[in-house]
Amino acid sequence: MKSKSIALLFLIVLLTTSYSAYSQNKTNKSAEIKSIISKKRSFNNTYGFGYRIQLYNGNEQKARQFRARFGIEFPNNFSKLVYNAPEWKVQVGNYKTKLEADKDLIKFQEKFSGIIVVPMGK
């Protein structure tokens, strides 16, 4: 009796697994999915992708001070000093989605005010 129930359970698991694998392959072949993926790739090629949190935008001396202060407050986070004439910017992180950046934005707002999430260019 026990061997029959084990065999039945094994058969159910096998059928369920093969059905879900088939349904995933069927979905990826959809023309609608391919269209959405190609639009996303086109957007990324044009505008770049990802997000950063911008702590400061202004003169060089204050930008370097903000970056040093950020390094002390959050030592394990990446920060970058960017120069776009005539402004210096302190940007933090490399986030794939805006949601990821927003989560860290809330954490950083405890120590820094006026910070924003900006999309990364190419």
Show pLDDT as tens, one digit a residue, over the chain (122 residues): 777 778 777 778 777 776 555 555 555 568 888 888 888 777 777 666 789 999 999 999 999 999 999 999 999 999 999 998 899 999 999 998 889 999 999 999 999 999 999 988 65
* Domains of the chain by residue range: 2-47, 51-119
Domain 51-119: CATH architecture, name and number where available: 2-Layer Sandwich (3.30)
Angle (CA) 57-61-67 rounded to 5° is: 65
Gap between the Cα atoms of 116 and 62, Å rounded: 17
